[in-house]
Chain A
Amino acid sequence: MTLGDLVAILPQTVLEGLLLGFVYAMVALGYTMVYGVLGLINFAHSEVFMIGAVIGLEVFRFWGNPAAPVIANPFLLLLVALLFAAVGSGFMAVLVERFAYRPLRKRGSKNILVPMITAIGVSFLLQDLTRIYAALRHNEFNMQYRTYEALNQVFELPFQTTIQMKGVLIIAVSVLMLIGLTYLVNRTKLGKAIRAVSQDMQTAALMGINPDVIISRTFLIGGALGGVAGVLFGLLYTNITPYSGVLPGLKAFTSAVLGGIGNIPGAMVGGLILGQLETLSGTYLPFLTNGNFGTEYKDVFAFLTLVLLLLFRPQGIFGQNVSEKV
């Protein structure tokens, strides 16, 4: 490849990174919001995301069978899948909070490691429950998204770039969700309450806000975003397994840390950056190293960049340097 060729594939690479970045951004919001209100890394969030992908897949399977479709229009089908995944994942997240985290909180344990370990346990539990479900229903744990011509339709863009219909939809849905969340957090009563609980739970309670209700709502919103992201991820990669949440979840968590954990715009920007790092390194690494490092090293490169960035800015891009009160 010549330099000209490398430059020529840049716009396409950036565009693909953008799609991936939006998915990471939406998942990252779930991590960052829960961290905001509880100071907890909710490791089970990656499974809430994966379950959203499975719910979406089942909606396509149930109602989108090309032979006898209940809903023939693939766009309407996608909308229904997104709604079901949002509701399903949202409630899954609420249940996890209600039965795994809240009892620990009520016992007043100050050790943050305890809920963290619980979160890892819940994460494994949800993976295995999904594995059992997949085995019973599909006889194997690889689950394939149905594909539809209307969603795979290709559009030509300038600079020799192409985008599929589903790519357009991923961007549209993500942007809508991100704008909606920003509006909710900054403009509504619930958003103010979430920010109040994030800043000082006890004072928020003394202002008449029930922290348990707000924490539950936070899980609901974060879970719903994760579920929607799961369906979009499924559309993009088509193959879903019970372990599909693990790596995207880790990357989304990384995005949240990159943006400054607890910071909402930070999670969005962090996700977009990580998406770019991953696709850029995936595309260019083989060329830059004469094929010694293949595309499979993209994650290594992405995380290496992250390690370097955090060395210089440990609080993340938007994070505040919080000094401990003496």
Chain B
Amino acid sequence: MSELALDVQGVTKRFGGLVAVSEVSLQVRAKEIFSVIGPNGAGKTTFFNLLTGIYKPDSGRVVFFGQDITGRSPDWVARNGIGRTFQNIRLFKAMTVLENVLVGHHTHTQQSYFDVLLHTPRFHASERKAKARAMELLAYMNLDRRAEELASALSYGEQRRLEIARALALEPRLLFLDEPAAGMNEQETEDLKTRVRRLRDELGLTIVLIEHDMAMVMSISDRIAVLEYGSKIAEGLPHEVRSNPRVIEAYLGKGAAGQAGGTHAPA
């Protein structure tokens, strides 16, 4: 068994009386494509927010490549190897496509006040390097020709790709994708699947995604965890999860488990 990328141990988050995430434990191996699925309101995005530092868990631990990152701030987590995209796209809309990626590259750009004021060779070198890397990532996401346009001018699918490019600029080891295929047509989803696989195969990234498109989840994931009402109700290989009666019940309601063979996508 390969190295553990993410080791989540009994993480719980309450909002007032509501337990949004309850005692969730799971392990993601390095270079795995791991999906988290579940009905609407199951706590998937809250779970992501707990892992990226937006919320602090009330109890439990999050270990990332052997390092305890529980309760670290979002910017610390981002600087230390976790990139993410958002369910509702959150690009810097008043910036150009290139600038969005450069912001992602922020921590890897070395510039002191001194360099900026005096335009030292180091300043020019750092600007050039950051820009070259950003263009590389845009090319990787097939957006390089639109680098100078405003992010808000991109189509929906392009904006989703730009979010991935921006997250990649952090040079992360693990990428969280929150519903990357939402609103995409079949063609775009196919294209996305290829890109996500390439991220893992070519860049060696570990990928954790939340997704509602079951066809995509089933075909792309190495393993899948299922959340319902904040608790993990199943985990395993795609075919195991698909035929798990509790999962079918969670999606289709009680009594459905007997009828639905589980071959068709619960939506």
In the complex, which residue of chain B has the Cβ closest to the Cβ of A213? B75
Of A184, A193, A200, A205, chain B has the most CB atoms within 10 Å of the CB of A205
Contact between B92 and A211, CB atoms less than 8 A apart: no
Interface membership of chain A positions 183-211, coded 1 if the CB is closer than 8 angstroms to chain B and 0 otherwise: 01000111011011001101111111111
Contact between A188 and B79, CB atoms less than 8 A apart: no
A184 in contact with B106 given A199-B95, A206-B78 (CB within 8 Å) = no
Comparing B31-39, B96-104, B186-194, the segment that makes contact with chain A is B96-104
B52 neighbours in A (Cβ, 8 Å): 206
A192 is contacted by which of B78, B106, B170 (Cβ under 8 Å)? B106
B126 neighbours in A (Cβ, 8 Å): 189
Contact between A202 and B103, CB atoms less than 8 A apart: no
Q: How far is the CB of A189 from chain B (nearest CB, A)?
A: 5
A203 in contact with B90 given A208-B79, A208-B106, A209-B103 (CB within 8 Å) = yes
Contact between B104 and A200, CB atoms less than 8 A apart: no
Contact between A199 and B94, CB atoms less than 8 A apart: yes
B73 proximal to A (CB < 8 A):
yes
A195 neighbours in B (Cβ, 8 Å): 92, 94-95, 99
A200 neighbours in B (Cβ, 8 Å): 90, 92
Give B131-151 interface residues, CB cut-off 8 Å to A: none
Contact between A210 and B73, CB atoms less than 8 A apart: yes
CA gap between A130 and B78 in the complex, in Å: 43
A209 neighbours in B (Cβ, 8 Å): 75, 78, 103, 106-107
Q: Per DSSP, are chain A's interface residues mostly helix, strand or loop, or mixed? A: helix
Interface membership of chain B positions 67-89, coded 1 if the CB is closer than 8 angstroms to chain A and 0 otherwise: 00000011111110000101000
B92 neighbours in A (Cβ, 8 Å): 195-196, 199-200, 203
Interface membership of chain B positions 202-226, coded 1 if the CB is closer than 8 angstroms to chain A and 0 otherwise: 0000000000000000000000000
Size bracket, chain A contacts: 20 to 34
B111 proximal to A (CB < 8 A):
yes
In the complex, which residue of chain A has the Cβ closest to the Cβ of B85? A206
CA gap between A196 and B78 in the complex, in Å: 15
B104 neighbours in A (Cβ, 8 Å): 207-208
In the complex, which residue of chain A has the Cβ closest to the Cβ of B166? A207
B27 proximal to A (CB < 8 A):
no
CA gap between A205 and B104 in the complex, in Å: 10
B75 is contacted by which of A184, A189, A199, A211 (Cβ under 8 Å)? A211
Contact between A207 and B95, CB atoms less than 8 A apart: no
Contact between B78 and A208, CB atoms less than 8 A apart: yes
B9 proximal to A (CB < 8 A):
no
B95 neighbours in A (Cβ, 8 Å): 192, 195-196, 199
B239 proximal to A (CB < 8 A):
no
Q: How far is the CB of B79 from chain A (nearest CB, A)?
A: 4
CA gap between A189 and B86 in the complex, in Å: 23
Contact between B78 and A199, CB atoms less than 8 A apart: no
CA gap between A193 and B76 in the complex, in Å: 15
Given contacts A202-B90, A206-B77, 19 further A-B contacts (CB under 8 A): A184-B116, A192-B95, A192-B102, A192-B106, A195-B92, A195-B99, A196-B92, A196-B103, A200-B90, A202-B74, A203-B92, A205-B75, A207-B170, A208-B75, A208-B170, A209-B78, A209-B106, A210-B75, A210-B76
A-B contact pairs, 22 of them (CB 8 A): A184-B116, A188-B111, A189-B106, A189-B111, A189-B130, A192-B95, A192-B99, A193-B106, A196-B106, A199-B92, A199-B95, A200-B92, A202-B74, A205-B78, A206-B54, A206-B78, A207-B103, A207-B104, A207-B106, A208-B104, A209-B75, A210-B76
